[in-house]
Every structure is written in structure tokens, then in C-alpha cells.
Amino acid sequence: MGLAGRVAMIAVAAAFFAALAQWVITPFLAQGEIRNQRQIAVDSGANLLADIARLHAEAGHWDEIPALVDALSVGMPDGQSAVFDAQWKLIAQDGARDSLPSPEAMDELVSTPNGILVIGERYYAARQIRVGDQTAGYAVYSFIPRPFVNTWLGVVGLNAIVLSLVLLAIAPLIYRLARLALRPVTVLERGIRGRDPKDKSKLADSSDDRLLKPLLTSIDEVHERSEAAMRRALTMAYTDPVTRLPNRLRFLSRLEAAVAAGQGAHLVVCDLDRFRQVNVTYGPRVADIALAGVAERLRAVLSQSGLSGGFMGRIGADQFGIILPGSSREAIDALMTACSRAIAEGFTIEGQAMRLAASFGAAHAPGDATSAADILKLAEVALKEAKKQTEPRTAFFDQRLLDKARAQSRLEDELRDGLDRGEFVAVFQPKVKLETGELVGAEALARWRRPDGAIVSPGVFIPIAEELGLIAKLGKQVMRDACFAAAGWNRKGIVSSVAVNVSPHQFDDPDFVSSVYKALDDSGLPPNLLELEITESAAVADGDRVARTMWPLRNRGVRLAIDDFGTGHSNFAAITRLPFDVFKIDQQFIRALSTDPHAPAIVEMILAMAEALGQETVAEGVETKEQADFLLRRACTIGQGYYYSPPLPAEEFDAFVRSYRPRPADRFAA
């Protein structure tokens, strides 16, 4: 149809609907005038009938009144004429045979100047017939107007037909006029449709038409703004807003291209160690600034490395990736070491000094894998291995790591299943008062008893449970077992406390405090007989969070112990801010009493600190009589270790408790 045809069609349709709208609206607007015309019509009929009747009466032809009435009734729809004498006696009536109004109504109508009476749809008018000064009679005229809707529909339909014929007749002329008026636009339209997509010239430069020039200039401006918005959207879609590096989506696309090229490329994955602690300690804003600083240092090392074609991006919350095509293993190893040193130099952000460390894993395509997804997975395997190492925390993938990772994955699945099947149980190691040899409690330790009877060390499964986020569930199981066991000992008349280790990850569980309350309430164990042990490093790393979590438990009566004391190198001020009752001396210092000349001084210092704070002390790992005697001489309160008893299952511990007799410390045999 073309632009001109569409314009012509729009013009014709607009004219038609505009006229139709006028015809529809006008009658409604003229309702008052229509009613007025009806009143005029009935009034005129009554006046005419009265005047003619008066002339006949004056001429003495009153007997001709019936013929007169018959003649006047024909002209109006449902017209009705009637003449009465002065006493309202009907003399003549013709036309419609509808009943006449009552004489009283007509008498009132006559007395009203120009009065009109409407009964139903019929209009009535009544006038006096006066001969001289006397009233000779009355003339009454009425009619029923035609229905408004019928009249209106007829008029509208007829006008619509006429208008349609007229518009069809002049449509070709309108079309020609539209083509002539729109010729510059149609020429421009054809030019735009045939425009080369690579042509970046402005549309305004393609026309000199005074009317089109402003329009084309506006189109150019809108186009430029939309392209700028598109570029910003693409930048946001593929760029990390914190580090301004390519984000994971763009990085993976580049990795797929590098692997598909088949020319050989290394993928290095960098992960910041314990970066979550930075978020917790300093807040998300400082953490973001630190991430931006790490990205800047990685950029600087990469640019100074001399390795060409490197591409870096942020691929995780605290992870970065680097693609290095055509580089040797030695060069990659040197780059990872340099990056590690650069990150370890430390940061000062808003006056706060912090140190970060990173681990690096690398894999090679196509040597290790031939797809982007696989090469990323293998680099993650190498990264996981690097995190287990000391300096340098870097690793390259090899098949042994994958086998190890698969074994680890199987162990993780078995751990999940073991938790569901209740394979994790609590064992109890006695705690003895050194001065009297009295049994004063036990520490509950988690053990994984496999279906085949094998026992898995906590050093193996605790880190896995923490990494998988299952430590809270495991901790709740051990907590309940410990509380029920201790409550059972106390019901048997042996007042004994129980200590339970708390992982730092359990503080992330919002139900931790309520789960401790529930274990106490369900078991009936008095709160003062439950002791929760928290490692020194975890307590000092986020003392405020520990305090917020532990004070409600402390207020209820639960005792709190700082475990592995001496390993975190915390200062005296940091410890005094925390609500602890017990210091537990780490077993490495106890075992070193006979081999390390500094160990006795360290133990004495810890005991002196505890004494200054008025807190109880527990020595872990007591294995010999000499160790027990040394601790007793230095006023240590409680000893715990294989010298007294290994950790025992609940049933064996019950037997141990029943058979146990307090003995002085110097009578224990090695």
C-alpha cells in the first residue's frame, strides 16, 4: 500500500468517523430543542383549531365543526382533535381514539397560558374558542411524536451511506495529494531501507528538506543515546562493578574461545584465603575496596610479567581467573608466585591495616582437558590442593589430584549419608582434678563410626563438615548426645559436667543458641553442668560476634571455655573482653614439657594469666605422670588425657565412672 496509501486511508477513515461521531452526538445535545419543537407543534395545532372554530362560530356555522376536526387530525402522527362547548360537552372528535384527559385537567390546562400536558407519550394543548367577549367552547389538540431512536437511526444510516459514497469517490484524489505531499518522506524511507548497516553517517545529512531536517536531527540524537545506553548495558552485563574486570560470563566466553583455538593455554584460578573473615570483620564496603586493590595488583603483575595475550577476570566472590595462551609451565609458576607475593604485601584501607593471602591452581588446555568447563573444573581441583599447602600455595593439576578429589567427593557423600544414618556418635574423655584425683567431668568428642566398624578421625571429617556447611547439624547431634549422657550420670548420683566443642562455623547458624537451650531442656541437664569450648583463634578473630552469641548462654548458667589457649597468640586485653570461665592449655605445650626448654615457661605464663583472671585451667594431652606432677606443682586445676583414660563410648564411660575411685595425683601409674 505504501506510506501515501496508508495516509489516504487514514484521512478517509478519519473523515468518516468524525462525521459519524457528529451525527451520534448532535441528537443527544439537541434533546431540549426537540422537546421544545414538540411543544410548539402541539400548541400551534391547538391554536389553529381554536381560531378556525372561532371563525365558523362567528359566521354561524357551528354545525361544520365536525368536518373541521376531521381535517385537522390527518396531518400529525396519531393526531387527535376535539371541540367542546363552554360546559366541556364534547361536540366533535376525530383522529386517534385515545381517551381524553378529564375535564378538570383540561380546565386547568386552558387556564395556563401556553400550557402543555404530557400523558404517557402523548402531548396535549387546549385553547378557548372566544366569540366576542364570551367563551363559546374549547379546542383540544394532541399527538404522539415519532420515536426519537427510530428517527435518529434512519438519519444516521442515510447520512452514512451518502458520506461513504462521497469518500469513495474522492479517495483517489486524496491518495494523489498524499503521495505528492509525502514524496520527500517516501524518498527518505527508501534511502533508509537501502542504507548500509555499517554506514554511521547522520540521517540529517541526507536531506535538505526544511520540514524533515529537524525530525531527522531528533532521530539521530535518539539513535546516539540508544547506542550509548546499549554500550553501557553491555558493559554492565559483562563487567564486574567492583573490580572493573570482565565478569564470569565474559571470562568463560573468552576461555571457551581460547580452548577452541587448540593452540594451548593455561588457566590460573586465584582464590583469596579466608576472605569471608574480611567481610565479617570490616564490612562489605571495605571488603569491596580490598577486592579492587587485589585486582589492581594482579593487573600490575600480569603486565610486568612479559607474558603476552593474558586475559583476567573476576569469576567468583573472592576468585579471579587468568587465561595465558602459549606460556610455559615455568612462566606460569613464576607468575603465580609473583601474584601471591603481591597480594601478601598487605593493605591499608581507611586507616585499617589488613593482610591477605591467596592460593593459586593452574590447568592446561588441551593437555589436561579439551573444554572450557573441564579446564575450569581441573584448575579448581589444583586450587583445592594448593590451599592445603604451606608457602607457596600454588599447584598445577595432575591426574593424582583428580583421583584424590574424587575420593574426597566420595568421602563427602558418605559423610552426608552418615549424618542422616546417625553414624556420628559422642565419646567422652574424663577430666580429673589434679590435686585430689577426683573425676569432675568429661569432654564430649565426635567420632564417625562407619558401617564396617572403622573409626574416622575428627581431623579428617570436621574440616569436610565445615566446608560442606554440615558442621551445625553434626554439632547439634553431639550436643544432644552429650547433654543426655551427662544428665544420665547425674541421675545416678554422679555430679559431673560435660564439655562440648563449638566450631566457629556454628556461630553462623541462627538456631545455635536455641538448639543449646533445647538440648538442655529435653535432657534435663542443669545449665551449669554444660561447658562450651571455643578455640582461641576463633574467639579473638571476631570477639564481638562471640560475645553476642555467648552472653545469652552465659546468663543462663552455661560455662564457657577457651580451647587450645596459647596457639592464637592473643593478648591479655582481647581475652578479658570475652565471657570465659575456663582456660584449656593446648596439648602441644603439654607434650613439649620434656622436649622444648621454652614449653614450661609458656605453660607457667598461661597458668599465671588464668590465676590473675580467677579462671579455672584445664591441661589437655596429659600422658605421663611427670606432666601431671608438673601441672600440679604449677597449680593447674584439671588434667585431661590418656594418662587418665582415652575417650570412651557412653556405655564404657558409664562403667568407668562406676568403677572410678578418686586417688591423689602422685599415685597415678604411668
Number of alpha helices (DSSP H) and beta strands (DSSP E) in the chain: 23, 22
What residues act catalytically? 620
Q: Which of 397, 428, 461 is the last residue of a domain?
A: 397
Residue 644 lies in a domain: yes
State the pLDDT at residue 173. 78
Whether residue 668 has pLDDT greater than 50: no
Let me know whether 531 and 582 are in one domain: yes
Residue 483 lies in a domain: yes
Let me know whether 231 and 256 are in one domain: no
Give dist(CA 51, CA 43) in Å, integer. 12
The C-alpha cell of 315 is what?
569469576
Using CB atoms within 10 A of its CB, is residue 468 exposed (0-12), middle (13-18) or buried (19+)?
A: middle
pLDDT confidence band for 151 (50 / 70 / 90) = low
Q: Rounded to whole angstroms, what are the CA distances from 629 to 23, 566, 604, 605, 666?
A: 117, 21, 13, 17, 7
Question: Cα 575 to the chain's mean position, in Å?
Answer: 40
The C-alpha cell of 402 is what?
583428580
Q: Which domain, by its residues, includes 338?
A: 248-397
Residue 206 lies in a domain: yes
Average pLDDT (540-556) is 79
Q: What is the pLDDT of residues 511-540, one digit of tens each?
A: 889 999 999 999 999 999 999 988 877 766
461 vs 272: which has the higher pLDDT: 272
Whether residue 669 has pLDDT greater than 50: no
Q: What angle do CA 326, 330, 332 make, to 5 degrees?
A: 60
Let me know whether 390 and 480 are in one domain: no
Nearest one of 91, 99, 94 to 129, comparing CA atoms: 91
Let me know whether 220 and 264 are in one domain: no
Q: What is the pLDDT of residues 454-497, one digit of tens each?
A: 888 888 888 888 878 888 888 888 999 999 999 988 888 876 78
The neighbouring-strand residues paired with 617 are: 583
Here the CATH number for the domain that contains residue 129 is: 3.30.450.20
Let me know whether 453 and 420 are in one domain: yes
The enclosing H or E element of 128 equals strand 122-131
Q: What is the pLDDT of residues 87-114, one digit of tens each?
A: 888 888 887 778 888 888 888 888 887 7
Residue 662 lies in a domain: no
Let me know whether 602 and 551 are in one domain: yes
Q: Rounded to whole angstroms, what are the CA distances from 256 to 263, 269, 362?
A: 12, 15, 16
Average pLDDT (586-604) is 87
Average pLDDT (105-126) is 85
Let me know whether 170 and 194 are in one domain: no
Give dist(CA 313, CA 304) in Å, integer. 17
Let me know whether 576 and 626 are in one domain: yes
The enclosing H or E element of 294 equals helix 284-304
Let me know whether 436 and 559 are in one domain: yes
Whether residue 371 has pLDDT greater than 70: yes
Give dist(CA 395, CA 294) in Å, integer. 20
Q: Around 434, how many Cα atoms within 13 Å sit in the side-chain half-sphere? A: 24
Let me know whether 588 and 513 are in one domain: yes
Residue 667 lies in a domain: no
The C-alpha cell of 580 is what?
570465659
State the pLDDT at residue 219. 72
Here the CATH number for the domain that contains residue 325 is: 3.30.70.270
The neighbouring-strand residues paired with 154 are: none
Nearest one of 241, 239, 277 to 354, comparing CA atoms: 277
The domain tally of the chain equals: 4
Q: What is the pLDDT of residues 376-405, one digit of tens each?
A: 999 999 998 898 887 788 999 988 877 777
State the pLDDT at residue 380. 92
Whether residue 652 has pLDDT greater than 50: yes
pLDDT confidence band for 204 (50 / 70 / 90) = low
State the pLDDT at residue 429. 92
The neighbouring-strand residues paired with 123 are: 118, 143
State the pLDDT at residue 270. 96
Sole residue written with cell 461521531: 21
- The amino acid that residue 154 corresponds to is G
Residue 143 near residue 74 (C-beta atoms within 8 A): no
Write out the E strands in 210-327. Answer: 265-272, 311-316, 319-325
Residue 87 lies in a domain: yes
The enclosing H or E element of 403 equals helix 399-421
Average pLDDT (442-459) is 86
Residue 536 near residue 567 (C-beta atoms within 8 A): yes
Nearest one of 398, 253, 257, 263 to 325, comparing CA atoms: 263
Q: Is the pTM of this model over 0.85?
A: no
State the pLDDT at residue 207. 65
Let me know whether 88 and 160 are in one domain: yes
Residue 540 lies in a domain: yes
Let me know whether 485 and 630 are in one domain: yes
Q: Determine phi and psi for 602, rounding to 5 degrees.
A: -65, -45
Here the CATH number for the domain that contains residue 609 is: 3.20.20.450
Of 95-99, 173-177, 421-425, 451-455, the range with the lowest mean pLDDT is 173-177
Q: Which of 173, 208, 237 is the last residue of a domain?
A: 237
What does R_g of the chain's alpha carbons equal in angstroms? Answer: 52
Residue 528 near residue 559 (C-beta atoms within 8 A): yes
Residue 94 lies in a domain: yes
State the pLDDT at residue 210. 65
Q: What is the pLDDT of residues 226-255, one digit of tens each?
A: 777 777 766 677 899 999 999 999 999 999
Average pLDDT (530-551) is 78
Average pLDDT (340-349) is 92
